[in-house]
Chain A
Amino acid sequence: MLEIKNLTKIYEGGVKALDKVSFNVEKWEFLAVIGLSGSGKSTLLRCINRLVEPTEGQILWNGVDLTKASQDEMRHIRRKIGMVFQQFNLVSRSKVITNVLAGRLGYVNPVMSLFNRFPQEDLKMALKEMDRVGIANQAYKRADELSGGQQQRVGIARAMMQDPEIILADEPVASLDPVLAHSIMQYLEKINSEEGVMVICSLHFLDLVHRYADRAIALNEGKLMFDGSPKDIDDVKFKEIYGKEAERIG
């Protein structure tokens, strides 16, 4: 179980990206994070694996406070937290398989990994994960030769290589077309339901939230505005989250 308590992040320059955000996520849960651009969704996700250092508050995961962990401890913890990005963040000049294997870097012998040597089991695992997302036949292509949807699947395979207990997905479908968006979301849903991986996913479209999320939280200017079932987002709640001028679409 992941407990976020009074999480606050103030960037240099005084911008308050998160303001005393508190919520819990159960294991097995698919949590959607919604809100306008700049509302603090990305910061929230990056605070959980401490790519961004939180200013205040606690992140308790199975009773361990991640904000107190040292650099070394954090590296160990990050191995169990996979991350998927809006811009995929693949190393475009490397092969697909290298990108996928990079998910194992936290586990393997650091010296051997510098020479691009990975254990046989990891290679097998990489092929299995690529097969799961349907890109096994692209393994030896360069990552930038792939289409957007395929690249995001490489991103998911990389995250799954970490054998994660949590997947943080930062707007994973925002730069994909609606059809691809659904296929990517279905992979995440499958991982959540079959492997029992907690998924925390920031999303823009409410229909995706309704379709895939067990629960949703909403941020507006760093404040938690809503925490509950996606079905409970009515017109009043909607205007609270997205502002008075917002219109519902889709």
Chain B
Amino acid sequence: MKAPRTLLKSIGIGVAVIVILVVYAYGFRVTKVNFKETRSEDRLIVLARILRALAHPDIIEYEQEETDVYLPFFLPCPEVEVVIQKPDKSRPYLTSSVSCGDSKETIFLEGFNFEPGSKGPINFITASDVKLQLGNFEADSEGHFQLDIRLPTRQPVAEAQTIRATARVNVGAPKFTETAKATWDKIIETIFLALLATTIGTALAIPVSFLAARNLMTEVKSSLTSIAFTIIGWPLGIFFGYWANRLISEWSSPIASHLIGTIATVIVAPILAYMLIRWALPQEELGVPKKTLQAARMITLALSVVIMILMLQQAALLAFKLGQVLIDPLGPFGFLGNFVSQLGDVIQIITPLIVALIGGGALGSITSTFGQNISDRLAGNTVKIINLISAAAAGALLFALIGAVINWFYQIDNPAAIYYWPAGMGALIGLILALMSTAKDPLPIGITVYFIMRTILNAIRSVEPLVMVIVFVAWVGIGPFAGALALSLHTIAALAKLYSEQVESILPGPLEAITATGANRLQTIMYAVVPQIIPPYISFTMYRWDINVRMSTIIGFAGGGGIGFLLQQNINLLAYRAASAQMSPSPLLWLQWIM
């Protein structure tokens, strides 16, 4: 049965077609479509020139030998007949159909005995030594060429002028041009820039990806007491960690001033720390240890952490000094010394950060456990009261911190607006949360962290690396280092997203099985999640390296180093053959060829 076609349906289709046409018409206007321009003579000439230049990358050049061949010529013809000498036929020579002519007259020119295959320009040299190009020649395999040339428009001159053919021959082996050499250097720079960015990005994206994986985070639930205590614990821990790092560094300055002291610390401290940790964390534990033993272990662990911090500081110092000393004696391998020294510097820079984070993590987890214990052990009403107080305090702290960050950007500098009001609001939100929730109910903190993490990642990912380069160039100066840092940041966000989607697609069975053995969360991730995600992680990392090589070409435009820097220069100078040299062996091509 044929469905009856209603009028309404026909009109609907008609309107849809018209709407689509209008959309495209507007699109043509907005994008300024102009096909007349594509046929313009001038444009086509320029286009052909540029395309041809691009097809001849400036990579290889030859040493050239030039031979000038002259032919006397009168322009215009003199009154008296002049006898022109017969050319020496043992050498290259030119003949023309006439020995004199008028402006704009076309004459027939022949060359003999030229080097086969040689080519070059034909110029008219005036009496006042002005060079006017008449055309180009290319000798055939017998060294002969012929062509019609048009005489230039000149003021009449009595004496003979000259037609000159400059024959150029390639001699010797082909060699790389300066452009090619510069390009090669920049290719290396680009590939390593991308490698560093990928490495740093991967290292940081892996832990972040677990926090942004829905299946791992939904199960993480905590009571409000525990959450509030954690929020209070983290910033305090960060502060204490930072402070402890400074204290240790001040206290250990006598050691640092002697090289032997530094070396001794670097050797002895890890051994001591290892022994302490081995005692504090026994290989296997069947029962539940006593409280006193637990406390002793905590103190030992804290002590070993202090020793490790000391070791880290001294090791950084040692590496920095050692690297500096090594640069000169190593000669061409001086970059290894520089590497060691820079590593030392990096450790020096990030030690306070690491220690602060360890402090935050340690105090955060202690207060978290403490809060959980309160929630588990005490009566409902007591927990409720503690919840009210701690949630208000945590809310106030959190919002005041956010206020401080906002103040740093916008420089409001009004304590009421940036601390008191936000703190009050945070406290209020904390109170409301504590009132609304049942005292001991586990709250879905994991999924909250997941959403916050996703939001941050999406925000970072949406910022073009070009913009990030501008910020990093301001920080560390123009060059590949700024590019590497900018790409690293973008890589973290992009990879963390891809990685977390892999984590979300793992089989849940092994996760369940490992949890059932009594493993803690970190062990579960290590044994059930990590083996499943290694292959996709590797393939995504390689893919990202590929992307980073390509992106590092572009970020060079904004001062991020790498091949883009040269490319931009040459494009601006309209040096298309040089630009082509940088484009045609695009670093990506090289990279893919290597791999």
Which A residues have a C-beta under 8 Å from some C-beta of B? 49, 51, 70-72, 75-79, 81-83, 85, 87-94, 98, 102-114, 119, 121-122, 155, 158, 161-162
Which residues of chain B are within 8 angstroms of A161 by Cβ–Cβ distance? Answer: 517
A102 vs B288: C-alpha distance when bound (angstroms): 20
Query: Would you mind naming 26 contact pairs between A and B with Cβ atoms under 8 Å apart?
Result: A70-B372, A82-B517, A83-B516, A88-B509, A89-B510, A89-B512, A90-B513, A93-B531, A94-B527, A94-B531, A102-B517, A102-B519, A103-B517, A104-B517, A105-B518, A105-B519, A109-B282, A109-B283, A109-B284, A111-B277, A112-B281, A113-B523, A113-B526, A119-B283, A122-B284, A162-B517
Specify the chain B residue showing the minimal Cβ separation from A164: B517
Which residues of chain B are within 8 angstroms of A109 by Cβ–Cβ distance? Answer: 281-285
Which residues of chain A are within 8 angstroms of B372 by Cβ–Cβ distance? Answer: 70-71
Q: Given the known inter-chain contacts A89-B512, A105-B517, please indicate yes or no for A114 contacting B523, CB distance below 8 A.
A: yes
Q: Which of A49, A98, A110, A121 contacts B520 (CB 8 A)?
A: A110
A33 vs B515: C-alpha distance when bound (angstroms): 23
Q: Given the known inter-chain contacts A107-B285, A109-B283, please indicate yes or no for A81 contacting B520, CB distance below 8 A.
A: no
Q: Given the known inter-chain contacts A113-B526, A122-B284, please indicate yes or no for A106 contacting B513, CB distance below 8 A.
A: no
Which residues of chain A are within 8 angstroms of B535 by Cβ–Cβ distance? Answer: 93
Q: Given the known inter-chain contacts A91-B531, A93-B532, A110-B523, please indicate yes or no for A78 contacting B517, CB distance below 8 A.
A: yes
* Nearest chain B CB to A137 CB, angstrom units: 22
Q: Does B376 contact A (CB under 8 A)?
A: yes
Specify the chain B residue showing the minimal Cβ separation from A121: B284
| Contact across chains for B510 and A106 when beta carbons are under 8 A apart | no
CB-contacts of B552-581 with A (<8 A)? none
Number of chain B residues close to chain A: CB under 8 A: 32
Q: Given the known inter-chain contacts A91-B528, A91-B531, please indicate yes or no for A119 contacting B517, CB distance below 8 A.
A: no
A123 vs B286: C-alpha distance when bound (angstroms): 16
CB-contacts of B368-394 with A (<8 A)? 369, 372-373, 376
Q: Does B522 contact A (CB under 8 A)?
A: yes
Q: Does B425 contact A (CB under 8 A)?
A: no
Q: Given the known inter-chain contacts A89-B509, A91-B532, please indicate yes or no for A105 contacting B283, CB distance below 8 A.
A: no
With A102-B517, A104-B284, A108-B284 known, 13 other A-B pairs at CB within 8 A are A51-B512, A51-B515, A75-B518, A77-B518, A89-B512, A90-B510, A90-B513, A91-B527, A93-B534, A102-B513, A105-B523, A107-B285, A161-B517
CB-contacts of B303-350 with A (<8 A)? none
Which residues of chain B are within 8 angstroms of A51 by Cβ–Cβ distance? Answer: 512, 515-516
* Nearest chain B CB to A66 CB, angstrom units: 13
Specify the chain A residue showing the minimal Cβ separation from B372: A70
* Nearest chain B CB to A45 CB, angstrom units: 10
Specify the chain B residue showing the minimal Cβ separation from A49: B516
Which residues of chain B are within 8 angstroms of A102 by Cβ–Cβ distance? Answer: 513-514, 517, 519, 527
Which residues of chain A are within 8 angstroms of B510 by Cβ–Cβ distance? Answer: 89-92
* Nearest chain A CB to B393 CB, angstrom units: 23
| Contact across chains for B518 and A78 when beta carbons are under 8 A apart | yes
| Contact across chains for A112 and B519 when beta carbons are under 8 A apart | no
| Contact across chains for A87 and B509 when beta carbons are under 8 A apart | yes
| Contact across chains for B531 and A89 when beta carbons are under 8 A apart | no
A175 vs B184: C-alpha distance when bound (angstroms): 60
| Contact across chains for A76 and B288 when beta carbons are under 8 A apart | yes
Which residues of chain A are within 8 angstroms of B288 by Cβ–Cβ distance? Answer: 76
